[in-house]
Amino acid sequence: MSTQKVIKNLKSFSTAAERFEGSHLLCPGCAHSIIVREVLNATNDNLVVSASTGCLEVCTAIYPHTSWDCSWIHIGFENSSTAMAGVETMNKALRNKGRISADTPQPKFVTFGGDGSTYDIGFQWISGCFERGHDFMYVCLDNEVYANTGGQRSSSTPIGSSTTTSPAGSHSYGEKRQKKDIVSIMAAHGSPYVAQVAPNKWKDMVKKIQRGFDTEGPVFINAMSACTTEWKFAPNQTIEVSDLAVDSLVFPLYEIIEGRELNITYRPKNIVPVRDYLGAQPRFKHLFTPQYDYIIDEWQTRIDERWAFLQKREEIRI
Amino acid sequence: MSKPINEMGWDELVPGAALYTFQGDIDYNIADMQPEERLYSETSSKAMSVGDWRVIKPVWNSETCIDCQNCWIFCPDTSIIARNKEMKGVDYDHCKGCGLCVSVCPTNPKSLLMFEEYETTEDALAKWPEKKKKGE
Amino acid sequence: MNKRVLELKDVEVWDGNMSNSNAFRQADVDVVAAYPITPSTATIENYATFHANGYVDGEVIMVESEHAAMSACIGAGAAGGRVGTATSSQGLALMIETLYQASGMRIPVVLCLVNRALASPLNVNGDHSDLYLTRDSGWISIDAFNSQEAYDMTLMAFKISEHKDIRLPVISNQDGFITSHTAQNVRPLKDEVASKFVGEYVQVNALLNFDKPVTHGVQTEQDWHFEHKAKQHAALMGSKKIIQDVFAEFKELSGREYKVVEQYKMDDAEVAIVCLGSTFETAMLAVDQIRKEEGIKVGIVAPRLFRPFPLEEAAAALQNVKAVACMDRSAPGGTVGALYNEISGALINTPARPLVTNLIYGLGGRDMTIVALKDIFRTLDKDAKAGKISGNIQTLVGVRGPALSYYNVEGK
């Protein structure tokens, strides 16, 4: 395991030499690139990065320009994880055969995928990679929708969100299904480390990313990516909405070690009502009508129950 | 590369549409070299500009800035340049004018504010607001 | 070369799968990512057994689907090493998008495709529907007619795939069950000879080469896509010459000569069939018999190289015959079969105007027998003498029930 770079505070973090270039085509205010920068800047090691088809891939690798200052591969929508499994396995093979010298420091293998790829179409692939125990980090850029293609629902889309394929209307309050609990699912694969992060809480996120880099085996990071275009808030509100998400506990920040020990890593000083979080995003604006208002109450109940559950698990250490 | 890529025929392109970030081979650890010390190829997106996406732009006031680096970390476009733990300025070639840097700036008055694209830095700084009093 | 050498006899008894497995072993593949599917499974099982007994230095990962198998091969290949896998039928269909991705990204991979029918109905036996599904995928595709050839083609596939002027993935085909599960005499190269023949893997744009960070798998829109597909097509078309060179080099080592279009008794043939796979060998026996018994001068043409299609060589082989039956072992999907199209397309711009018919046969592993072939030869002979096709252009041969035939342009 290579020595982790030390990041004492934001000022020292800012001395990082960026490996993600501007003039990508992501929307102004996109949280994806904030997340990518935090992940890439958390290490000075050599990187091999893969990405699934989606906003990140499309906006950072349109010929003839690449925004990646490291080796990068995209194959398709489902298989960014498996692509990295292939790279990681080849690395092992070439080292065993002496075609990569043992002196060469081990690189970090990082895969990025949207929620569409992670929760839906690429789920089998990630499951296989985690079951086989490849040594890599998978970061899900979770904006709760198929953003790249105009905002269709995924199994990450939360109840009441209006998307183009689960639109709100006089006969529907939008998405009807619960958001899949991807973190628990990946923990159940026996991953040594899974965590939920949000880029606005950079210190919490970078600490977990570094722990992930330090962990041998498949690491899963679910990163909340507030999407200005599909959640429909102004581009300069990305951090503000992200703050509401973690302070309302809609996106609780926690980690699970070896599938057993759950640690809540952020406890808001003042817990914000879920109503405030939902109210900041026009994708939920139809809930603020007499017809659908009850959904907001159901939201609050659900978030409260889950927070209680997380605290209980943390307490009893299972 | 001898010829700009836009002038190349199919026979001159890299097979598989692969793209190189840097010119030639590199013999250093990229993360140990600040971008200005690296030799980028024309196929790095760094060579492009998205400045024309903007209609408003952030202007930086170094007088009020405390180098907290909030703007640096939350810029989605790697357009806040920080060196030696100090804020150096805005990279207007790559800034899209999203305004996140302004929203996360903690000083009073803020050290980054949005102005019309056509505004000069001098004029913008001259218009800088005063410190907001409590309750304002 | 692997550290542990397997001492092989001069003549081994291997089925087509074992031939594949040994070719992989001798080629010192760095990563095999695979998923089991009948009838290709044993290629991987044998290889895994070699690995478990220390005869393979590379890695073997058993992934969770065929799509994942090819995805991992592409990732591993792009990382910078030799990769291979095997599949059939449904597995091939599942990984089809990755085939296009592999060839577009110009990643050398060897795929042992043990040809099996595509569902539905579900069928595990040998036909060429999966082979045909790969037609437009941009892969080089070579066909083995027996177990010896399966070994030879799979071994050569690595050398072809990695050639600096090719860098395209290669499919090594063989008939499911008929070849894959039939143990035959195989004369393999010794490990050292085979390893030297295939050579060391040379990295091109490897992800694990940190001296030159590279971006693989970009998006190209209307302003760039055509140039890259044109470049890919040029490489595929240009590979034929190199494949012929590799065949020649292999002949020096093994004494076995291969051609991009194989022929049997075409020198004086008046009629011919065009086919793929083990049918070629059955037809050799039928041809010998009917020439002796009935004096019909029939020959066989088989494109050993299916992609890039050897259009000129196929046309040249058929210049002097009066009737050709193109035999396609795949459900034709509402039109004439692939070989009929390729052959007709090859002949149309030459002076030759034989009668060309299309026979659909052997679906789902139904045997093509010597008896049936002789009937086909007789029909060809009759048509050639009459100067016209006696029935319709396309006939399904060997199916129980009323005769099924289609397409008649003579207005009968």
DSSP B117: T
pLDDT tens-digit readout, C193-221: 999 999 999 999 999 999 999 999 999 99
Residues belonging to chain B with any Cβ–Cβ distance to chain C shorter than 8 Å: 8-11, 13-22, 25-27, 30
CATH number at C183 reads 3.40.50.970
Q: How far is A178 from chain B (nearest CA, A)?
A: 30
Q: HSE on the CB side for C13, CA within 13 Å?
A: 2
Residues C201 and C286 in one domain: no
Nearest to A236 among B34, B70, B99 (CB): B99
Instruction: Classify burial at A214, counting beta carbons within 10 Å of its beta carbon; exposed 0-12, middle 13-18, buried 19 or more.
Output: middle
Residues C216 and C299 in one domain: no
CATH number for the domain formed by residue range(s) B49-128: 3.30.70.20
pLDDT tens-digit readout, C109-151: 999 999 999 999 999 999 999 999 999 999 999 999 999 999 9
Buried b (16+ CB within 10 A) or exposed e, C169-204: bbbbbbbbbbbbbbebebebbebeebbebbeebeeb
Residues C185 and C245 in one domain: yes
Asked if C207 reaches chain B (Cβ–Cβ under 8 Å), the answer is no
DSSP C105: T
DSSP A5: P
Contact state of A33 with B48 under an 8 Å Cβ cutoff: no
Residue A1 has pLDDT above 50, yes or no: no
Give the separation between CA C230 and CA C182, rounded to whole angstroms.
41
B86-92 contacts at long range (C-beta below 8 A, 24 or more positions apart): B87/B60, B87/B62, B87/B111, B89/B60, B90/B57, B90/B58, B90/B59, B90/B60, B91/A22, B92/B51, B92/B57
pLDDT tens-digit readout, A180-222: 999 999 999 999 999 999 999 999 999 999 999 999 999 999 9
Give the separation between CA C105 and CA C217, rounded to whole angstroms.
6
Asked if C205 reaches chain B (Cβ–Cβ under 8 Å), the answer is yes
Q: And the tokens for C351?
A: 């002076």
Residues C153 and C273 in one domain: no
Confidence of residue A115 (pLDDT cuts 50, 70, 90): very high
Strands A168-169 and A172-173 come out as antiparallel
Give the separation between CA C203 and CA C207, rounded to whole angstroms.
9
CATH number at A110 reads 3.40.50.970
Residue C4 covered by a domain: no
Average model confidence (pLDDT) for chain C?
A: 97
pLDDT tens-digit readout, C231-287: 999 999 999 999 999 999 999 999 999 999 999 999 999 999 999 999 999 999 999
Neighbours of C3 (CB within 10 A): 10
Q: Which of A109, A188, A174 is nearest to A144 (CA)?
A: A174
pLDDT tens-digit readout, A63-83: 999 999 999 999 999 999 999
Residues C196 and C268 in one domain: no
Predicted confidence at residue B132, as pLDDT, reads 84
Residue B117 has pLDDT above 60, yes or no: yes
Q: What is the ipTM of this complex?
A: 0.96
Calculate the CA C218 to chain-centre distance: 29
Residue C411 has pLDDT above 70, yes or no: no
SS (H, E, C) A35-80: HHHHHHHCCCCCEEEEECCCHHHHHHCECCCECECCEEECCCCCCH
Q: Which residues of B touch C214 (CB under 8 A)?
A: 18-21
Q: How many CB pairs under 8 A join A and B?
A: 150
Q: Would you say how long chain C is, in residues?
A: 412
φ and ψ at B74, to 5 degrees?
-100, 5
Q: In chain C, how many domains are there?
A: 2
User: Taking chain A, what is the end-to-end CA distance rounded to the nearest angstrom?
Assistant: 28
Q: Which residues of C touch A64 (CB under 8 A)?
A: 224
Q: How far is A49 from chain B (nearest CA, A)?
A: 14
Residue C229 covered by a domain: yes
Range of the domain at A278: 10-316
Residues C289 and C185 in one domain: no
Q: How far is A83 from chain B (nearest CA, A)?
A: 16
Range of the domain at C24: 12-254
Confidence of residue A3 (pLDDT cuts 50, 70, 90): low
Predicted confidence at residue A4, as pLDDT, reads 80
Q: Which residues pair with A50 in a beta bridge?
A: A73, A111
Give the separation between CA C26 and CA C40, rounded to whole angstroms.
19
Q: And the tokens for A11?
A: 């000022």
Neighbours of C267 (CB within 10 A): 9
pLDDT tens-digit readout, C300-312: 999 999 999 999 9
Strands (E), C63-123: 83-87, 110-115
Rounded to 10°, the helix C96-104/C66-79 angle is 10
pTM for the full predicted model: 0.97
Buried b (16+ CB within 10 A) or exposed e, A239-275: bbbbbbbbbbbbbbbbbbbebeebebbbeeeeebebb
Residues C275 and C350 in one domain: yes
Nearest CA in chain C to A51: C217
CATH number at C355 reads 3.40.50.920
- Mark which of C187, C221, C254 sits at the end of a domain: C254
Average model confidence (pLDDT) for chain B?
A: 95
Q: Which of C186, C54, C25, C196 is nearest to C112 (CA)?
A: C25
Asked if C227 reaches chain B (Cβ–Cβ under 8 Å), the answer is yes
C66, C68, C74, C76: CA torsion to nearest 10: -120
Give the separation between CA A244 and CA A237, rounded to whole angstroms.
11
| % residues pLDDT > 70 (chain A) | 99
Q: Which of A7, A20, A21 to mutate to test the interface with B (most CBs of B within 10 A)?
A: A21
Average model confidence (pLDDT) for chain A?
A: 97
- Tell me where in chain B the CATH 3.30.70.20 domain(s) lie: 49-128
Q: In chain A, how many domains are there?
A: 1
Give the separation between CA C331 and CA C132, rounded to whole angstroms.
10
DSSP C19-75: HHHHHHHHTT-SEEEE---TTTHHHHHHHHHHHHTT---SEEEE-SSHHHHHHHHHH
Helix (H, G, I), strand (E, B) or coil at B89: strand
Residue A226 has pLDDT above 60, yes or no: yes
Residue C412 has pLDDT above 60, yes or no: no
Residue C185 covered by a domain: yes
Q: How far is A224 from chain B (nearest CA, A)?
A: 14
Calculate the CA A282 to chain-centre distance: 22
pLDDT tens-digit readout, B34-91: 999 999 999 999 999 999 999 999 999 999 999 999 999 999 999 999 999 999 999 9
Residues C231 and C288 in one domain: no
Residue labelled with tokens 């043990």: C114
Neighbour subunits, C (≥3 Cβ pairs < 8 A): A, B
Amino acid C188 reads P
